[in-house]
Chains A and B, each alone.
Chain A
Amino acid sequence: NAGVTQTPKFQVLKTGQSMTLQCAQDMNHEYMSWYRQDPGMGLRLIHYSVGAGITDQGEVPNGYNVSRSTTEDFPLRLLSAAPSQTSVYFCASSYSSADRERDGYTFGSGTRLTVV
């Protein structure tokens, strides 16, 4: 049972480049989400999905795109990277039921992205 797997762990991009951060979970969780973590800002929700084919915006969605074609995968696309997107990105998943508070979100180990 691998939990939530994020790739890559580290990435350096040039301004204007695009890339996809991968997230996969093997727990059959309905809910998946992407957060970015910045010093002094905490974890901020970028996009989330309550099931395959359903996505919605979070608190800071601009510059990011997502899709959910399967229950297991939830990739995050940076369309045209900017230095302001330098951050640590976390993918998280949970059940979409009352069990989610008891069991908690399962987070990946993060992707450290630097945009130069």
Chain B
Amino acid sequence: QKEVEQDPGPLSVPEGAIVSLNCTYSNSAFQYFMWYRQYSRKGPELLMYTYSSGNKEDGRFTAQVDKSSKYISLFIRDSQPSDSATYLCATNFGNEKLTFGTGTRLTIIP
């Protein structure tokens, strides 16, 4: 069993819809939780990070962590075609080594 599980999709939604992306993790010692976005044939780039349980907002994006159920979510409001990408959740023990989910491929249909 992988330490971080993520539904690979693909996921297709119409423009303007709310998107929900989810991950689960197995090790309660994980401390930081991140979402990376990866466009086709590019390297991943950091989208959001959070440390504690609860919600963190940044524009149209909300990251949610529930440490009691070991669940990580990313919500995208008013989705745009430019949001079409692969989204990877990631976590660490407070050190340099990141553990990534497999990524969810998202397509926003105009």
Contact A107 B43 (CB under 8 A): yes
Contact B43 A101 (CB under 8 A): no
Residues of A contacting B41 in the complex (Cβ-Cβ under 8 angstroms): 109-110
Known interface pairs A45-B97, A50-B96, A58-B97. Does A107 touch B6 (Cβ–Cβ under 8 Å)? no
Question: How many angstroms between the C-alpha atoms of A41 and B51 in the bound complex?
Answer: 25
What residue of chain A has the Cβ atom nearest to residue B101's Cβ? A42
Query: Which range holds the interface residue count of chain A?
Result: 20 to 34
B96 partner, pick from A40, A94, A104, A108, beta carbons under 8 A: A94
What residue of chain B has the Cβ atom nearest to residue A95's Cβ? B96
What residue of chain A has the Cβ atom nearest to residue B49's Cβ? A101
Contact B44 A43 (CB under 8 A): yes
B102 partner, pick from A40, A94, A109, beta carbons under 8 A: A40
Residues of A contacting B100 in the complex (Cβ-Cβ under 8 angstroms): 35, 42-44
Residues of A contacting B96 in the complex (Cβ-Cβ under 8 angstroms): 31, 33, 48, 50, 94, 96, 100
Residues of A contacting B49 in the complex (Cβ-Cβ under 8 angstroms): 101-102, 104
Q: What residues of chain A have their CB less than 8 Å away from a CB belonging to chain B?
A: 4, 31, 33, 35, 40-45, 48, 50, 58, 90, 92, 94, 96, 100-105, 107-110
